[in-house]
Amino acid sequence: MIDQIIDIIGVLNIRVAIGLANVLGLITISAMVLTWAERKVAGHMQRRIAAKEVGPFGLIQPVADVIKLLGKEMLTPADVEKPLYYLGPILIFVPVLVSFVVIPFDARLQVMDVNVGILVILAFSSLSVLSILIAGWGSNNKYSLIGSIRSVAQNIAYEIPLLLSLLAVVFMSNSLSMKEIVEAQNDVWYVFKQPIAFLIFFIACVAETNRTPFDLPEGESELVAGYHTEYSGMRFALFFLAEYTSMLIVSAVATTLFLGGYKGPVLPGVVWFLGKTYFLVFLMLWFRWTFPRVRFDQLLNFSWKILMPLSFLNLIATGALLKL
């Protein structure tokens, strides 16, 4: 009976379904942990305690937040473009979900080893720009629109150095599969062979996730909250979830490509992978509470005038060295 069912559905589909369910769990829990971590990091960097009332060390605080957001009425402002307005928060969740499918958490802990893994992540993560644009346009609000347009300009500008710095790694490992790239780092992590690429990649990642110091799309002091100004309740929570999860994704990708993924002595691979990933996430939180927001011209100049030529040079040098 069970064999028949498995035959009809197919082993691969079952694997993907189970994997996606686990990924959903991971996303939710990590987003909750990250909101807590962000508060704690913010607090201690300003030498105060931060969340502490709900549960020990305020650990239950995210649960209270989720309950509050779930209990809120989902308001739909009168003049929004309804189809787009509803589509925005749903669409922003797709890339977040799909990207985790190809990330290897351990040597055998991966939903699917696609041979174009990097491409899958890049293709789907550029979808989030579309959903931000849709959300901003559909909200029929000037702040949302400005926020989303800034986000699009920024994402286009920073996707190019991101891709170019990734290509250097792909050149060296000769593969687009995430797992093979990790296996290629058996001796030396790529962060030591490609420090400039890593730096460019990480900066571009911070910009892609709209984090400080590149958080112009949601600059509170100028644009209220940017593209999600008009959203409330669970729809807002989806944007929030997507933001924190995309932080986790870019950190996971950076870990996989530059920090040797699950490779590490003694401890199991998952621990190494999550440790490295959360270290990068902490680095992002650290950035947020250290650096002020850049101006828009500085933002674009930095990408087009510095990061892009630099990543190009790096790519050419890598190619030349490999050919020699």
Question: What's the CA gap between 194 and 189, in Å, rounded?
Answer: 9
Of 227 and 302, the one with the shorter C-beta distance to another protein is: 302
Of 232 and 301, the one with the shorter C-beta distance to another protein is: 301
Burial of 120 (0-12, 13-18, 19+ CB in 10 A): buried
Number of chain residues interacting with another protein (CB under 8 A):
14
Of 26 and 283, the one with the shorter C-beta distance to another protein is: 283
Of 64 and 310, the one with the shorter C-beta distance to another protein is: 310
Q: Are 197 and 222 in contact (CB under 8 A)?
A: no
According to the binding rule CB under 8 A, does residue 279 interact with another protein? no
Shortest separation between residue 320's beta carbon and another protein, angstroms:
21
Out of 18, 112, 306, 316, name the contact with another protein by CB under 8 A.
Answer: 306
With vertex at residue 91, the alpha carbon angle to CA 85 and CA 93, rounded to the nearest 5 degrees, is 125
Q: Are 113 and 102 in contact (CB under 8 A)?
A: yes
Shortest separation between residue 189's beta carbon and another protein, angstroms:
21
Shortest separation between residue 44's beta carbon and another protein, angstroms:
5
Site for another protein in 32-61 (CB under 8 A): 41, 44-49, 52
Out of 192, 279, 291, 296, name the contact with another protein by CB under 8 A.
Answer: 291
Shortest separation between residue 47's beta carbon and another protein, angstroms:
5
Of 171 and 289, the one with the shorter C-beta distance to another protein is: 289
287-315 as b/e: b if 16+ CB within 10 A: bbeeeebbeeeebbebbeeebbebbeebb
Residues 6+ apart with CB under 8 A from 158: 203, 204, 207, 208, 214, 303, 307
With vertex at residue 115, the alpha carbon angle to CA 110 and CA 119, rounded to the nearest 5 degrees, is 95
Residue ranges in contact with another protein by CB under 8 A:
41, 44-49, 52, 286-287, 289-291, 306
